[in-house]
Structures are given as C-alpha cells and as structure tokens.
Amino acid sequence: MLNFQFLPIYIKNKEFQNDSIRIEIIEMPCHNPNEEEYRFRMKSRHKENEIVIHRDVAIEHHQPRNVHPHASEHLQFKLYSEGFGKIRINLDIKNDEEYKKCILGFLSILKDLITSFEKYHKDITKEILNLEMFEGIEKHRSFLKGKISASLAQSRIEMDTEKGIKVVNKSSLENLKTNNALIPFFEGVI
C-alpha cells in the first residue's frame, strides 16, 4: 500500500447517485509527497431551493513544488454555484506526519459534510463511509483547525475573485462561515 492512501481504508463507495444528490470521492495516492502529487477530493451536486449546487472540496498539493504556484499543501474549495468561487487555505506543514494528521482531520470533516446530505438520502453516510474506521480521527480535526487558524493569522487563505486573488482576513472569514460546506472547516477558527 502507498504511504499516502486513505480512500480504501475510509471510503466504502466512492460514487453515490440518486435523483437528489451525486457524490464522487477521488484520491490520487502517492508514496512520497515530497516527490509526487497527492489529492483527496469530494465532488457533490444537489439542489437547494431549486438551485443546483456544485461543490468540490479537497486537500492536495501539486508537483513540481518549485514551479507550480499552488505547490504547498492546501485545502481547496470550489463553490462557484454558491457565489464564492475558489478558496485556498495554504497550510504550513512541517513533515509527512503533520500532513497525514491534516488529511485525517479533513476526512473527519468530510464525514460531517456527507452526514449533512442525509436529508437527501437516509443512511448515505453508512453507504459511503467505513464508519468504524472514523473512530478516533476526530482528534486530527482540531490539529487541522489549528493549521487553518495559523493560515488565517499568516494571511495564507486566498480567494479567487473577479479582480484577482484576495487574501481572506478575519472580517471576510465571517462571510465564508455562512456557507454550509465551509462551516465545519472554519467553525472555531479565530
């Protein structure tokens, strides 16, 4: 098994679709994140108030690190249908162990996002996730949120706008906290 491969452990069904919702979970695993790209992403589509909502949330980094503009480890949200566009949280990660903790924190929050879709399909969480594997990873959520708080303090949260890239500060963070997909990531972040 690859050193950075979480999908087979935590995800039972990487695709789910019915008349109300579609979820797709994708992982690009790797042996060594210092030499290879890594990505764990969830794409979803559902309707809210007769509006089709497309969401794309991921934790990832790109290669080569010295060339790609978003090569550091980051959380990325694509929320165009909700008027937020693309948001990147560049994480200050010191080593592979910290990266793994952030990925596990991301998975813990992903569980909450999937659970929020229970209104579209009862037991969707049980159908998609290996729930028994999620016991004990909640502690990594607080580690990830600590990294998000540090990113906010270091002006490492960016939002693509029509006028270019905007750095998110504490006051603009309040606006982001109104989005259901972002609340679990920013809740408690100061």
Tens-binned pLDDT, residue by residue, of the chain (190 aa): 468 899 999 999 999 999 999 999 999 998 888 888 899 999 999 998 888 999 999 998 876 545 545 557 888 898 887 888 889 999 998 888 999 999 999 999 999 999 999 999 999 999 999 999 999 999 999 999 999 999 999 999 998 877 888 899 888 888 888 888 888 999 888 7
Does the residue 180 lie in any domain?
yes
Does the residue 87 lie in any domain?
yes
Structurally, the chain folds into a number of domains equal to: 1
Does the residue 160 lie in any domain?
yes
- Collect all residues with Cβ–Cβ distance below 8 Å to 178 and sequence separation of at least 6: none
Mean pLDDT of the chain: 89
Instruction: Please give the Cα distance from 59 to 74 (Å, whole number).
Output: 6
The residue among 163, 162, 187 whose CA lies nearest residue 173 is 187
The residue among 59, 52, 55 whose CA lies nearest residue 29 is 59
Does the residue 1 lie in any domain?
no
For the segment 125-137, what is each residue's pLDDT rounded down to a tens digit? 999 999 999 999 9
Does the residue 127 lie in any domain?
yes
Global pTM reads 0.92
Does the residue 2 lie in any domain?
no
Give the strand pairing for 38-48 and 51-61.
antiparallel
Question: What domain range includes position 33?
Answer: 7-186
